[in-house]
Amino acid sequence: MEFKDLDIILASGSPRRRELLTGMAIPFRVADAYAVEERYPASLPLAEVPGYLSRLKSEAYPKPLEENQILITADTLVLLGERALGKPKDRQAAIEMLNTLSGGTHHVTTGVTIRNHAAQATFSETTEVTFGALSADEIAFYVDTFRPYDKAGAYGIQEWIGYVGIGRIDGSFYNVMGLPTRLLYTKLTDFIRTRYSANHKSMNEI
């Protein structure tokens, strides 16, 4: 798939998402930060929240998109039963979250929205993650060494705790990092074929 005629914009401050998009060999640039009030209706099922918030982030982008621009926004949520685990506010909150996840299974859902000047598509993927039992010393070591305060659920699967603490994953590993890479690639290439195939010649002539 040819991306060279497109200006793909990632609107995310997450270094993991930047790393994943780079690994997918998709040329992109990172949008300047902008304000988004990440609120969702209380009646919305938690599994639908990441998709909803990814659309909210897309719609809040402050600049109109030009014909050759595609905006990518995403949101990841850690779900333990009917409870959503966000980013821990401090050390104690991170320790409490990891204690809650220790020895059990939870779900990680990432919602993604891709949008151009005329259309958008939103999709999501869920991965099931099972932790082995973590000791208090292991949790404290991880939190103090890696300081996972910018991560939903207080952990990064690509870090030490993923190597030694996670016993099973059912679904996409990269989804837990922040992007469902296979699904994103499929949806993005389909979006480009659908929206730009008829305009390919004119885009090359710009």
**What residues are labeled active site?**
75
User: With helix as H, strand as E and coil as C, how does the chain read?
Assistant: CCCCCCEEEECCCCHHHHHHHHHCCCCCEECCCCCCCCCCCCCCCHHHHHHHHHHHHHHCCCCCCCCCEEEEEEEEEEEECCEEECCCCCHHHHHHHHHHHCCCEEEEEEEEEEECCCCEEEEEEEEEEEECCCCHHHHHHHHHHHCCCCCHHHCCCCCHHHHHHEEEEECCHHHHHCCCHHHHHHHHHHHHHHHHHHHHHHHHCC
